[in-house]
Structure 1
């Protein structure tokens, strides 16, 4: 454990050469709270130990132990925090829309936790395959079975009735922010482009997506920083590449979101950390 990290905190992240998986992320957190943020990928998570509490689209949920599978859809704000002093151990797969299309995101909001032993077992098998170079074909095969099982769950859920999430102005602002991740823009610039009052823009965006525009933009920058760090780019270079003022600015937001500094995140091993037991 690196000096300065939270006690018994460990993080390991890498990008496997398996189509559809943007990132693998393993962590043990004892005292960490994720701020509200979004991903542009699906976040498929299993717990190996402990419990986690999280809000998805402003509704709180919880998961405990190794029985559950959590699926957090892209573009929907969520947070997360430890529940007990011992924290939790988790393994995440960040999946792109070649595995699950974004159009299914609304179906995953109402039921983000599945009690499915078969699905959980298949995800565990995939993580094991991802730990060994040369097992990419096995990993692709296991991912295909997971995709099939996730579609089974999502297809059984009724689509959400369009409401605030369909607010056109908020969606336009979000598209604008996504196109200006590096350069950013002021609220007044956005208001001028969209012909709306700045206060109305903030209110509309927060009602639709559950967080203010500046928080959304920061989260998107952190997401992009994670990818560049895994590509081997230096933290100082990454900071300016994703739109942060400097490396200190990146460090502050990255640590708040991910639970470790960019440099430590980048120095994690290239494969998973064994948590004990048969895994």
Structure 2
């Protein structure tokens, strides 16, 4: 009977985020990967269940949601379910602009990393990648993941914001304000300001209390409110302010204001009480 067949679901896409070659979300209940290699790094978290795998002829296991699996490029590995419930996983396939090939040997020695902060950051990145239009946020989250992975593999410590913090943060804010309508990527901003992406984010957050992608979205919502009350249509507002489309505007506007752009715009006629 078809209802007795093992359930498998797979979703994959290629986001427009530098460094990420592919995103894969999957649920396997009865599946075994044959031995294979990747040209990319495979960064995986489990959402449920357990997986058994061999890497460079040594077997490993991972259970639950505590660990992070990092499989290096060019090294043979397999993978299989452990019990009838299988496992749910989310993978990021990262190119060598994120992690250089020279770190592969260290990843072979310890492919399962127990790091709650790293796991949480990977989860947050996956949530951002589901909404392909939120590229700035995804780039920001990937930068912190990259830094954290380097700290495990290369013993690098993140740079602490110093005396230049306020100056660098102010320059980034000026850049964001000037690019509200057209947007800017994190890597472009870092190149213009001659700063490492994660250092740039830390300086901004220390100075203004929120990360730059959150600041940019807030400024766009602020301008959207004005345009809507001027009588502009939501679809036109979305295009004017650099949102990917009207649905992108709707999602962020509703999260900020508790109502949709169209309902907010109707308050200008006096047919509904103003939100404040």
TM range (shorter): 0.5 to 0.7
Cα distance between partner residues in 2 of 1:150 and 1:108: 10
Q: Distance in 2 between matches of 1:4 and 1:134?
A: 37
Contact between 2:124 and 2:141, CA under 8 Å: does it hold in 1?
Answer: yes
**Residues 196-250 of structure 1: CA distance to partner in whole angstroms, max 9, x if unpaired?**
xxxxxxxxxxxxxxxxxxxxxxxxxxxxxxxxxxxxxxxxxxxxxxxxxxxxxxx
1:111 matched residue in structure 2: 110
Partner Cα distance (2:17, 2:59) in 1: 32
Q: State the alpha-carbon separation in 2 of the partners of residues 128 and 101 from structure 1.
A: 25
2:35 match: 36
Per-residue CA deviation, residues 123-180 of structure 1 (Å, 9 max, x unaligned), is: 00000000113210000000000000000000149xxxxxxxxxxxxxxxxxxxxxxx
Question: What does residue 67 of structure 2 align with?
Answer: 68
Match of 2:196? none
Distance 2:62 2:51 in 1: 6
Q: For residue 11 of structure 1, give the secondary structure of its aligned residue in structure 2.
A: strand
Report the Cα distance in structure 2 between the residues aligned to 1:133 and 1:27, rounded to whole angstroms.
Answer: 18
Normalization by structure 2: what TM-score? 0.55
C-alpha separation between the residues in 2 aligned to 1:5 and 1:79? 26
User: Separation in 2 of the partners of 1:91 and 1:119?
Assistant: 14
**Distance in 2 of aligned mates of 1:18 and 1:4:** 39
SS in 1 for 2:45: strand
2:126 is aligned with 1:127: yes
Give CA deviations for 1:179-202 in whole Å, capped at 9, x if unaligned.
Answer: xxxxxxxxxxxxxxxxxxxxxxxx
**Gaps spanning 5+ residues in structure 1: where?**
158-279
Cα distance change on mapping 1:141 and 1:98 into 2, 3 Å: same
Aligned equivalents of 1:5, 1:129: Cα separation in 2: 35
Q: Figure out how many residues of one structure are paired with residues of the other and give that number.
A: 155
Q: Which ranges of structure 2 fall in alignment gaps of 5 or more residues?
A: 157-276
TM-score, length-normalised on structure 1?
Answer: 0.54
After superposition, the Cα gap between the structure-2 partners of 1:106 and 1:131, relative to the gap in structure 1 and judged at 3 Å, is: same
Alignment map for 1:1-279 (pairs within 5 Å): 7-156=6-155
Cα distance in 2 for partners of 1:93, 1:49 equals 17
Deviant stretches of 4+, over 4 Å: 3-6
Deviation at residue 8 of structure 1 after TM alignment: 1.6
- Between the aligned partners of 1:136 and 1:34, the Cα distance in structure 2 is 31
Q: Which has the larger radius of gyration?
A: 2
- Secondary structure of the 2:141 match is helix
Contact 1:6–1:30 (8 Å) recurs in 2: no
SS at match of 1:7: coil
Distance 1:6 1:107 in 2: 40
Contact 1:48/1:66 (8 A) holds in 2? yes
Structure 1: how far apart are the matches of 2:5 and 2:56? 28
Work out the CA distance in 2 between the residues paired with 1:5 and 1:29. Answer: 14
Q: Is the Cα–Cα contact under 8 Å of residues 66 and 115 in structure 2 kept in the other structure?
A: yes
